[in-house]
Homo-oligomer: A and B are copies of this chain.
């Protein structure tokens, strides 16, 4: 049980980690940059030894996809990569299920080896495992290379969630046909953005999949469906819960940072305080770096040590606050902050100096998506958030997108296409077989579905502190998925008998 618990921890962690807004880059007052919130990306690099783990054996294949499913422009097709494992699949004759993980905004191999749950349960279901990669990420580049695909707004224009869903639908339909496996039920998996894709796919392509396990999927984080302060309030509460002085120190640090940065030699001094390898050219990069640490820490604040994004102790926020609060008397605010975030960036103590993200404004896939359709308003409340106060400013956001990508966002498109304000209403009368799985301390949980909507649209809420939650939640999920597959077979039989 121990090893499978670990791999379930890993899936829970990955699914709570993929999206990451950087608030400080929106702080138009303190920090005038307005680029769209950078989400994951940097954590989803290709892995060196994809098949290092016995249970993660897969074959890599490619499938030719239309670049635009919704027009008939004469465009070059592209090769979508997908990973496939059929060793446990019981095949079409026994209606062997197909587990399809909806690839997120990154290299699919990284998601595959970090999604233990799917690998663990596939054998007992006799299931095929499929990990199709999301277009424009990893090795699934239109126009032949990342350089070409990311050249400009024209080449990037087909990087949308709808196109990605259509990719999955076309791939699985073709694959099933070729394998005479039309009668095999498909179950969708996905976390974070991939969890949103899984839920949306179940809504939009109910004929393609019998159910979806959507983990940490903030499908309500659009327009004004949930308050824009939600994300940073949850992060902040995770710190406040450990120590209110820790919360206060972080809250006060932004002004200290700004004052220091404005001094003569201030940037030099900041670079020294934070042990940066290269001297800062503005406080922006440093502020982003701190913001990322706090947000990621809130996502992986588990009671046991983990090694997913960074090597971390159990309850890492407690450890951060211990260091902030327990710094030697006379330490400055910024020295305390440095001591704290070192838990995240240097828990093993091996780092001599820190390298900030060199290209925060680069042509990043998620930034493009955030600047086109995935517009998730983010604010920071001046009372309840430890981050600098910030009111979501769509105009400034739009201008940033026009400047960085020469594209104008469509902030209301996602709710038009997938439903929004009345989504629970719609799910109730029209949806079925979706599990919304959430960790309550996960900052993204505020934008997800947190209550049962019907008998078959289930919200699983877990308190990450409970040592048994992993085992229990996993057992529930398996039972629900078994129910979907059982009902599907029953209906198929009934159809044949008619």
Contacts and interface: CB of A to CB of B under 8 A. Distances in A.
Interface of A: 66, 68-74, 153-154, 156-158, 160, 162-163, 166, 169-170, 173, 182, 203-208, 372-373, 406-407, 410, 412-413, 415-426, 428-432, 491-492, 495
Contacts of A205: 417
B419 A69 contact: no
B416 A173 contact: yes
Contact of A207 (B68, B406, B420, B492): B420
Nearest to A177: B412
13 contacts: A70-B160, A70-B163, A71-B163, A74-B153, A203-B206, A206-B419, A206-B429, A207-B419, A207-B422, A422-B495, A425-B491, A425-B492, A429-B491
A154 B74 contact: yes
Contacts of A206: 203, 419, 426, 429-430
A70 B159 CA distance: 9
A15 B205 CA distance: 27
A169 B418 CA distance: 10
Nearest to A494: B425
B416 A170 contact: yes
Contacts of A162: 69-70
Contacts of A68: 68, 70-71
Given A162-B70, A170-B416, A207-B422, A430 B432 contact: yes
A72 B407 contact: yes
Given A207-B426, A416-B169, A72 B491 contact: no
Given A68-B70, A70-B160, A425-B491, A166 B207 contact: no
Given A72-B160, A206-B419, A207-B419, A430 B429 contact: no
Contacts of A492: 425
A431 B429 contact: no
Contact of A423 (B182, B207, B418): B207
Contacts of A491: 425, 428-429
Contacts of A413: 69, 170
A160 B71 contact: yes
A216 to B, nearest CB: 22
Nearest to A371: B72
A418 B205 CA distance: 7
A336 B363 CA distance: 72
Contacts of A182: 421
Contact of A412 (B160, B173, B372): B173
A187 to B, nearest CB: 15
A166 B412 CA distance: 13
A460 to B, nearest CB: 20
Given A72-B410, A74-B406, 13 more contacts: A69-B413, A70-B70, A70-B163, A71-B160, A72-B160, A74-B157, A170-B413, A182-B421, A206-B430, A207-B419, A207-B426, A424-B495, A430-B430
A156 B66 CA distance: 17
Contacts of A69: 70, 162, 413, 417
A416 B69 CA distance: 11
A430 B72 CA distance: 29
A73 B207 contact: no
A102 B141 CA distance: 37
A162 B204 CA distance: 12
